[in-house]
Structure 1
Amino acid sequence: MAEKAFPTGAVLSVVVDVLVSENHMQGIYEVLGWMTGESLYTHQLPRVGREATPVILALHPELEAAVAEAEQVNGDNWREWLATWKARYGETITVPLLTIEQHERIDPVSELAEMVPPEKLMIVEVK
């Protein structure tokens, strides 16, 4: 199984669903993009994060504790919280590639069309 190390904050942002990545959303895009082999759109991140979280936790069950602890994270204390986790597990955490059974590939435009009411969509053809 292929694995790659990413900054602890980026991986935790995926797992705990709280932004604690030092490079902000870019960290989440990098982790989930590598895990899926896709260039993801913003509206796809929540779904792909839900797919990736159990896979990451299966590889790193010790991160389960972070989920409960993250409930207390806010804009004022996230750096201290992240520092605690880095002290426990290091600067990086490895994540695996998602398999075809673990990740559903959905065309980003089609997925967005399913999320938005038809009257709110505007399709522009570029010629």
Structure 2
Amino acid sequence: MKDFRELKVWEKAHRLTLVVYRNTAAFPREEMYGLTSQLRRATSSIPANLAEGCGRSGDAGFARFCTIALGSASEVEYHLLLARDLNLLKPKEFKDLTRRTTEAKRMLTSLIQKLKAPG
């Protein structure tokens, strides 16, 4: 069993989640159960799946949860685009969140490749 807190990608994903929560706090009240909820859920799913995967035995099980986290990161990318196009995110916020999401996706992809590499 691995300690998820020791993973750099978990730390990046956790920080991304905190920033998303701060940014979405300013979203309109009518989006509370819409885009705000969807964006927060998708973002928090990234570090949550990494944590759950660390509790599984073996690299194959961990890789599966990393792949789920990667899918959540792609979902975040879309929700960020939607928030930008609805003028809920300022261009600077959008750029920062997109950069952080892309960085997490790169790290997840690298980790998945490492886990699936022949021993």
Question: Normalized against structure 2, the TM-score is what?
Answer: 0.26
More helix by share: 2
More strand by share: 1
Query: Which one has the largest radius of gyration?
Result: 1
Question: Normalized against structure 1, the TM-score is what?
Answer: 0.25
